[in-house]
Each structure stands twice: as structure tokens, then as C-alpha cells.
Structure 1
Amino acid sequence: MRELFLTASVKDADFSMTCAILQGLTWMTARQTVHRILFFQGQPQPRSIKNSRAFQQSRFLPFWKELSNQLARSSYVLQVAYELSLDKDFGKGSVMDFNALPGTLRWTDLPDPLRDTPVTSRKKIEIPDQPALLLAMSDNGLQYKNEMIQESYSFVRENIEFVFSRYYYLPDSPGRPVSTLPAFTDLRPVDPAQKWVLNVKLNVLDDNQPDKVRKASEELIGVKAELEKIFDFKILDRRIFDTRIAPPPVIPGRG
């Protein structure tokens, strides 16, 4: 799969207004999601995935094989994401059994080389609904580094997704995920200014067809023109999205 997206930042004070604009544009109310994201760093030398217990019976076996091929050529940081409930999972003192819960394994490649366009294009693999992902990481020598909370609000118009995201630090817990989650209101945003990042996304399932990728890019440029008086979509250095390097450092949250 190839993911193409535009990127803009939105001040927290403008967030409600911009959500209202996108609600009118898409004729839908935003869907809020909160994910707990664990970062795992690959081994120093690239190595394909060995037959892990996590995916032996997976219906997504072709995705696992494709991911294995990617990891054989370069070492990457992988994300393991779990969707959370604001009411049930924060500040309750409960401990998550990661290997019993289904999670999503995320991998993204270094984006294509820079061009004079605000559209970022990169190869992506997401493997959803997978149990025992921490076992899979351990079986393959991927090392837990840190974790964050991701809060998102998404809108959809036809095949285009508009996603506001903001990240929060969790209290430092060297070597393993924090045992229990603090109250959501005690979390510290990664960005001190508390800005939101807006991504306007399109996915091309068959990334071996350049015509489809080009058409998706042109469609996003059309969205940029449609919204340019509201959002400033930047041309970004692809190194910002380089997952071949270490995950971001963790700063302890309040409480």
C-alpha cells in the first residue's frame, strides 16, 4: 500500500472552528479515537521476520511476508497500536494484557525523494487485529523503546480522509510499557504549544501502478487548492518521517 498525504498544523484555539469547517465539508461528525502506541526498534543489522507465534495463523499472512521482506533490507522502528477507551482505560489502575488484546502493527518506509509538492508519498504496511504482538516483537529481537498516546479526530469524504492528531507523553518507564495509565487530563502534549496536525490522506492499495499514485497525488493537490485559504499545507523534508532511526525520546508526564 502507498500512503499519500498533505500536512498542516492547527492552533488549539482554532481547532473547534476547523472541525466545524470539515464537518460541513464532509457532512459528518468527527470520529474521535485514542490509541496507545508502543515503539519497537529493529536490530542493528537488517533481518527478516522469523516464523512468530503471532502470525502463524493470521489471515494477513501476505502482509507479514511483505513486512519481512522490508525488514530484510533495512532496520526500522515499528509501532504497535492499541485503541483505548477514555472512560475505561485511563486513571482506573487497570493493567493491560497486551498479548491477549488485538493490536495493529504499523510500518512506514522513508517517503519518496523531495519534489516541489506538498504531497508526501510513502509505502505503508498496517496489520490489524493481531494478538500477541509483543511476543512477535520479542521473538524477532525488536526492542521496546517508549510509548505515546495518540488522540485523533477523523472525517471522510468519499475516499479522502481528514485526520487531526495530537500526541501525548506517558510517564517514563524504562525497558517496558508503563504498568497503568494516568488520567487522560494528566497527560502532557508532545508539542508544548498543543497544536494539532492535520493530514489529508489517500491510500493506493496497488502501489505498483504509477498512474494510480499520480492520480491520487493530483486529487490531493485539488484538495489543497480547495482549502488553501484555511490551511497552509507545507512542503516537508522527508527526513521528518524517517522510521529507520530511533523513536522519539520520552519526557515524563505530569502525575
Structure 2
Amino acid sequence: MYELSFNGTIFKADIDNARAILGGICWSQGLHTVKRVVYYAGPPQPHPKGLPKLEHVTQMPPPPNNQQRPRPHPAWSALSKELARSSYFLRLAYNVSPEKDFDTEAEVDLNTVAGTLQWFDFPDPPKGQPFTQRRKMEIPGQGNLPMVMADNKYEFDKELIEETWSFVKDEDFEIAFTRHFALPERDVEPRTQLGRLPPWADLVPLDPAEKWLVTIKSFAWEENNPEEVKKAASQILEEKAFFDRLFTFEAVDRRDLDTRVPPPGRMM
């Protein structure tokens, strides 16, 4: 899949008004999600290895009344081919609830809960277009993701909390407001994710100015179909002309979105 996007920012004080406006445009209250995002770094360059070991991959929840272990989702094979060409940082994303999953007594083993494996490619060269265009893959509903990362020599890098309000317009167009919160690091070696999340009220935004990222996106679901990519490009340009009246979008240096290297503060 190709994701085409423009990015901007708005201040915290403006987020409620922005959501209200988007609610009217999209006839929706928007979807509010909070995700725990864990980053893993691939084997050091120049020796990428893909994902050859998938014996611990599980589907969650498992298929009902199925005595035979299900085979890994086909996307695992396609992703492994990409990761065999170059080493990347991957995201493991888990839905969490501010009311239920923060400041709890019990530790959480992320191998036992369903997560989404996310890969974002290095953006395509501009070629005259003003938007960011890059390939992405997502494999949802997967268990044992940290175990699979360890099996394939991927190393824990960092984790954070990602809060998003998203609105869908015309099925293949999305507007999202996103902010990120830092999480404390464990003072252990080797470094790994937290067992317990701190209180939601104690989280500190990564942006000192407490701005939200505004992103508008269109999608080409068949990345090898030139007509679908062209349609997505036409859509993102048309929608940007409309949303320019509401937000200020800024050019993004594609090197800042290079998921093969770990520049400070990059959220992929």
C-alpha cells in the first residue's frame, strides 16, 4: 500500500475547535485511539536478514475450533523480503485505554496481547510532487511480537504513547490529529519495554510546545497499479486545496522519515 500525505501542526488550545470543524465536514465525531508504540531496530547495516524465524507468530484471537496451528499471515513473507534488502526500524502498536491500562498493579507481557506490526519505507523521491509518498505494511492482530523480534535479532529501541483523533472522508481519505508522550526508560540491561505504564495524568508530551500533528492522507491500496496511485495523488492535492483554508501544511524532508536510521524524535 502507498500512503500519500501532507503534515502540519496546531496548538493544544485549538484542538477542540479543529475536531468540531472536522466533525461537521466528515459527519462524524472522530475515532479516538491511544496506542502504546514499541520500536525495534533491525540487524545493523550492511547485513539485513529479513524475518526468517516465524515459528512463534500467532493470530489473536486464535481461529475458533481450529486444532491446527494457523500459518502466519501472507504479509509476513512480503515484509521479510523488504527487510532482507535493507535494515529498518519497525513499530509494534498496541491499543491501550487511559482508564484501564495505566497505573495498574499487574505487569503486562506484550507477547500475550494482540498488536499490529507496522513498517514504513523510506519515502519516494519528490519527482515534482509536494506531498510525501511512501509504502507501508501493517499486520494486525498478532501475538508474540516481541518474541518474534528477538528471534530475528531485532533489538528494542524505545517506546512511547501515541494519541490520535482520526476522521475519514470519502472512504480513502483520512484526517488525523496526533500527539506523542514520553515513557520512562527501564534501568536494566538489555533494555526492554516497561512492565507497567505510569499514570496517564503523569505523561509528558514529547513536544515542549504541546502541539498536535495534523496529517491528511490518501491511499493507493494496490501499490503496483499506476492508475490507483495517480488517483490517490489527485485526491490528496484536491483535499489539500480545501484544507489549506483550515491548516498550514509544511514541507517534510524525506530524510526525516528515513526508517532505516534513528534520528532523535522521529515518530515514523
TM normalised by structure 2 equals 0.89
Alignment of 1:190-201 (within 5 A): 190-201=206-217
Q: Following TM superposition, by how much is the alpha carbon of 1:232 offset from its aligned partner in structure 2, in angstroms?
A: 1.2
Give 2:85's aligned amino acid: R
State the partner residue of 2:167. Answer: 155
State the partner residue of 2:113. Answer: 101
What is the identity percentage for the equivalent residue pairs of Structure 1 and Structure 2? 38
Cα gap change, 1:206 to 1:59, in 2 (>3 Å): farther
State the partner residue of 1:17. Answer: 17
Q: Distance in 1 between matches of 2:192 and 2:177?
A: 28
State the partner residue of 1:139. Answer: 151
Partners of 1:118 and 1:236 within 8 A in 2: no
State the partner residue of 2:75. Answer: 63
Q: Distance in 2 between matches of 1:248 and 1:53?
A: 33
Cα gap change, 1:59 to 1:22, in 2 (>3 Å): farther
Q: Following TM superposition, by how much is the alpha carbon of 1:203 offset from its aligned partner in structure 2, in angstroms?
A: 2.0
Q: Following TM superposition, by how much is the alpha carbon of 1:217 offset from its aligned partner in structure 2, in angstroms?
A: 1.1
Q: Equivalent residue of 2:49, what SS?
A: coil
Q: Distance in 1 between matches of 2:229 and 2:183?
A: 37
Larger deviation: 148-157 or 171-180? Answer: 171-180
State the partner residue of 2:64. Answer: none
Partners of 2:256 and 2:263 within 8 A in 1: no
Alignment of 1:231-250 (within 5 A): 231-246=247-262, 248=264
Partners of 1:8 and 1:198 within 8 A in 2: yes
Q: Following TM superposition, by how much is the alpha carbon of 1:145 offset from its aligned partner in structure 2, in angstroms?
A: 1.1
TM normalised by structure 1 equals 0.93
Candidates 134, 141, 146, aligned match of 1:122: 134
Give 2:81's aligned amino acid: N
Per-residue Cα deviation, 1:191-224 (whole angstroms, up to 9, x for no partner): 1001001111122111001121111011011111
| Gap runs ≥5 in structure 2 | 59-68
Cα gap change, 1:60 to 1:218, in 2 (>3 Å): farther
Alignment of 1:48-59 (within 5 A): 48-55=50-57
State the partner residue of 1:223. Answer: 239
Give 1:9's aligned amino acid: T
Partners of 2:51 and 2:80 within 8 A in 1: yes
| Gap runs ≥5 in structure 1 | 251-255
Q: Distance in 1 between matches of 2:28 and 2:71?
A: 32
Larger deviation: 234-243 or 111-120? Answer: 111-120
Candidates 47, 50, 59, aligned match of 2:49: 47
Partners of 2:109 and 2:195 within 8 A in 1: no
Say whether 1:76 aligns with 2:88.
yes
Q: How many residues are paired up?
A: 250
Give 2:5's aligned amino acid: F
State the partner residue of 1:170. Answer: 183
What is the aligned-residue RMSD (CA, Å)? 1.7
Give 2:88's aligned amino acid: Y
